[in-house]
Structure 1
Amino acid sequence: MIVLQGAAIVICCILKVQAITVDDYPEDARQIMQQLHDACIAKSGVTQEMFALGAKKEFPEDQALKCYMHCIMDEVAVIDEDTGLIDTEAYVAVIPDFVKGRWRPVIEHCGTQPGTDRCDVAFNTFKCYYEQDPDLYALF
């Protein structure tokens, strides 16, 4: 698991696009996000094409993309490997303070979205985040 330092900065690689971009995060936070991304690309086997579709706010039914999203949640320790449930309090806790107010209601509203397996749960939960606030969602 990638260790997040200080106020953990990853929210499933999701940012407020209209007001906050990746460039708004400190360099060390961007480096952690990149390490997380690289680790999950390798673990999930998602193709660049499928990842690019997810980044474009499309949700193709691709198992590797779903497992990439699960990996993100697993690496920041917000999904229980036994139950598949997302710990919304832990998730809110890893969000940097400057975006926490925007993310808390979305994360709390979506909770854990049902799915056929843990990857599907993560995918459906990411879709819920998008549906709640399309401008808030971005896949990094």
Structure 2
Amino acid sequence: MLKSVCLKKHAVPEDTFVKCKNGEFANDETLKCYFACTLKTMQLVSPKGILEKKPFADKMRMLSPPSIMEVILPAIEQCTDKDVGNVCENAFNFMKCSYEVNSKTMNYFPI
């Protein structure tokens, strides 16, 4: 459901998501803003457009079982609190970093 809501706002081709799951992140503004949309809709982004470690981790703990948190938590620890001044860019950087920490994180985000 979350994916379809954000795809209406940011039309990203399905093959782009397949590439992301394989570590290929296109430097594309639509993709970046799609990621921001999903994270904002999940209320994981601060009002300033930053993915802040503690609120992000707390929210994911509420949404995810412990087995998923084992995969996601290291990415949250290493990939949040990095503001480049643009929510779309912040979300994109988080997703890329998450993949680098553990490629399995892509299974738990709406892509």
Query: What is the TM-score of this pair, normalised by structure 1?
Result: 0.64
2:79 to 85, 100, 110: 110
Q: Which amino acid aligns with 2:65?
A: D
Q: Which amino acid aligns with 1:112?
A: D
- Equivalent residue, structure 2, for 1:74: 40
2:97 to 120, 124, 128: 128
CA contact (8 A) 2:2 2:38 kept: yes
Which protein has the bigger helix share? 2
State the 4+ residue runs in structure 1 displaced beyond 6 angstroms.
none
Equivalent positions of 1:42-121 (< 5 A) are 42-81=8-47, 83-92=48-57, 93-94=59-60, 95-98=63-66, 99-121=68-90
CA contact (8 A) 2:3 2:38 kept: yes
Gaps of 5+ in 2: none
Distance 2:28 2:77 in 1: 26
Distance 1:101 1:122 in 2: 21
Distance 2:104 2:20 in 1: 14
Cα RMSD for the two superposed structures: 2.0
Distance 1:38 1:115 in 2: 27
Query: What is the TM-score of this pair, normalised by structure 2?
Result: 0.78
